[in-house]
């Protein structure tokens, strides 16, 4: 399952209820990578990504969605996300993280 897969890729895992929490948790926890939903309460995923990247330019944020739209891919890229991951392809997470670490 997805949670197991994420847990297997990391020692510690934090879930955030909304975009504002994602910003504060990022600052405190500074994780190796972030899986970001597109829409969240308070601050949406794209805006949260922009804010995190502004403060932590090396942050590795992957936007996750079920929709493969060129406009969304472009928006994620412009916000500073390192990738755009379709939920069904989450098993590629390990490969993506290896590429990112290189």
Partner 1 sequence: MTKQQVALEKKDKHDNIFVTAEHFLEDFAKNTQEIAMKAFERFEKRGYKFGHELEDWFKAERELLKKVPIEIKDIDGNLNIRAEVPGFTAENLKVSVEPLRLIIKGETEEKSEKKEDHTIYSEWKSNKIFRTIDLPHRVEADKASASIKDGVLTLIIPKSAETKPNEVEIKPV
Q: Please name the residues in contact with 7: beta carbons below 8 A apart, sequence gap of 6 or more.
A: 13
Per rule CB under 8 A, is residue 74 in the interface with partner 1?
no
Q: Which of 36, 39, 47 is nearest to 84 (CA)?
A: 36
Per rule CB under 8 A, is residue 1 in the interface with partner 1?
yes
Name the segment binding partner 1 (CB under 8 A); options: 25-33, 50-58, 59-67, 75-83.
Answer: 59-67
Order of all β-strands in the sheet with 61-65: 34-36, 61-65, 83-86
Distance of CA 9 to the CA centre of its chain: 14
Per rule CB under 8 A, is residue 99 in the interface with partner 1?
yes
Q: Which of 16, 88, 87, 86 is nearest to 52 (CA)?
A: 16
Per rule CB under 8 A, is residue 77 in the interface with partner 1?
no
Q: Which of 12, 71, 91, 102 touches partner 1 (CB under 8 A)?
A: 102
Residue bearing tokens 């379709």:
86
Per rule CB under 8 A, is residue 39 in the interface with partner 1?
yes
Per rule CB under 8 A, is residue 3 in the interface with partner 1?
yes
Site for partner 1, rule CB under 8 A: 1-5, 8, 15, 35-40, 44-45, 64-67, 87, 94-95, 98-99, 102
């Amino acid at each position: 399952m997805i949670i197991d897969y994420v847990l297997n890729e990391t020692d510690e895992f934090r879930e955030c209820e909304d975009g504002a929490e994602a910003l504060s948790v990022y600052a405190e926890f500074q994780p190796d990578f972030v899986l970001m939903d597109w829409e969240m309460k308070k601050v949406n995923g794209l805006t949260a990504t922009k804010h995190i990247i502004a403060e932590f330019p090396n942050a590795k944020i992957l936007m996750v969605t079920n929709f493969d739209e060129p406009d969304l891919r472009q928006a994620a890229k412009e916000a500073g996300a390192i990738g755009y991951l379709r939920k069904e392809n989450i098993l590629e997470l390990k490969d993506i993280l290896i590429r990112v670490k290189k």
